[in-house]
Amino acid sequence: MSYEQVVNRIFGQEILRADPSRMSQIASAFDRPEHFAELKESLTSRLERLDAAGRENPTLRKAFIDSMRTVADASNWDGAYAELCFIDFLLSVNPTLSPQDLELDKTISASETLASEMGNTHANLDVYLPRIGVFMDVKVLSNKNMVLAKKAVEIATRKTSHPKLRSLPSFPASLPYHVLQTNLQALAKELEQVFMGGKRPARFNSTLVPELSYQFMWEPGVYSAAESYDPTEHGRNHHVLLFHHAKKFHRAAPSGIVFVHHPWFGEQIPSLSGADEKYFGQLARSFFCGYEGNVSEARAFNSDFNTSMSAWEASRHLSFVMFLKDGTALAEDTQAFVATNPNALNPVDLSAAGFSALQKAKVLPM
């Protein structure tokens, strides 16, 4: 059965009409009968659980349907997929949490969050648990450096005879995100020179970002690259991602960021020897504990800030970070890790009734 057929069968109505030319990776997997059996089985079970929850709370049902439509579309599916993954996990591991206790897509005044430090009038958070007063926002733990590295090639080749050139960037996982972010346009111009005059190089080593190199795929075939990995350095360099989600940090209530990782669209994190756990822990630790006594302003890490709030004060408004490793691709249980902020202004209670999602997660030492 196709993704469209599975969704419509479970939810009992013609809620989804997918465009075959714009199918996401997840939706397309259902059209390959000889492959991805574990993924299809796991996702079908997840949709059945969400359908049951939606029958108890019609407001959730509408949100689920909107998300499932988004998941079918290749243009912007991973965020909606991550939200469904977390909500399913949240309801599955919380025996005392009813679908009636869950509010999604919660819009509040920006003055209640750090969004007001950025000139916003409202803030929107994905999940709110009113019984215990906890706000959460769900994000994809994606490989943003890979996205930026490929974006540079896309920009550089727009005016050439090979605008859809495939590339395989290679860089250490510990490369700080801001390096490629701030040098994107300059990197694209550097690449333009490489392709000028119809040149077809097999490889390119950037002088602007020495840690970055490319293989270019001019012919069909299999390409590979090798790199070293240090999870501690990776976490230390990538913790600034949390500053980019600061408008979701609540001023007076516990709030958390939930990162969902899926092997098809997530950050490249080897699980060998617990590297993933080390990475998660260091990312949270660097953000929660790395700015005490530091005079840096938050806008040094997120230019959306238009006030002089310090990075230390901003970091204290995030109560916890949860990492979910979605196991659907291999029909495995979802793994959860949580790090609580020892310096939080609004600490979260791990033992709070109805929030056993945190109790089921492995606590990362700070």
**pLDDT digit string, tens, across residues 196-229:** 878 888 899 999 999 999 988 877 655 555 566 7
* pLDDT single digits (tens) 103-155: 999 999 999 999 999 999 999 999 999 988 999 999 999 777 888 898 899 89
Last residue of a domain, one of 166, 193, 217: 217
Shared domain for 252 and 280, answered yes or no, is yes
Shared domain for 314 and 259, answered yes or no, is yes
- Burial tier of 177 (Cβ tally within 10 Å: 0-12, 13-18, 19+): middle
Note whether residue 344 is domain-resident: yes
Give the per-residue pLDDT at 218: 78
CA gap 296, 185 in Å, rounded: 26
Note whether residue 89 is domain-resident: no
Note whether residue 94 is domain-resident: no
Shared domain for 115 and 167, answered yes or no, is no
Note whether residue 90 is domain-resident: no
Shared domain for 10 and 120, answered yes or no, is no
CB 26 within 8 A of CB 77: yes
Residues 11-31 as b/e (b if ≥16 CB within 10 A, e otherwise) read beeebbebeeeebbebbbbbe
Give the per-residue pLDDT at 70: 92
Average pLDDT of the chain?
A: 88
Note whether residue 127 is domain-resident: yes
Note whether residue 83 is domain-resident: no
Q: How confident is the model at residue 332 (pLDDT cuts 50, 70, 90)?
A: confident
* pLDDT single digits (tens) 10-27: 988 778 887 777 888 888
CB 68 within 8 A of CB 75: no
- Distance in angstroms between the alpha carbons of the first and the last residue of the chain: 46
Domain extent at residue 168? 144-217
Count of structural domains within the chain:
3
Residue with tokens 């969902």: 260
Shared domain for 172 and 187, answered yes or no, is yes
Note whether residue 348 is domain-resident: yes
Give the per-residue pLDDT at 119: 97
Q: What is the pTM of this model?
A: 0.86
Shared domain for 132 and 153, answered yes or no, is no
Which of 17-21, 32-36, 41-45, 249-253 is predicted with the least confidence, judged by mean pLDDT?
A: 17-21
Note whether residue 254 is domain-resident: yes
pLDDT above 60: residue 159: yes
Between the ranges 150-164, 219-233, 315-329, where is the mean pLDDT highest? Answer: 315-329
* pLDDT single digits (tens) 236-295: 988 999 999 999 999 999 999 999 998 877 777 776 778 899 999 999 999 999 999 999
Shared domain for 108 and 165, answered yes or no, is no
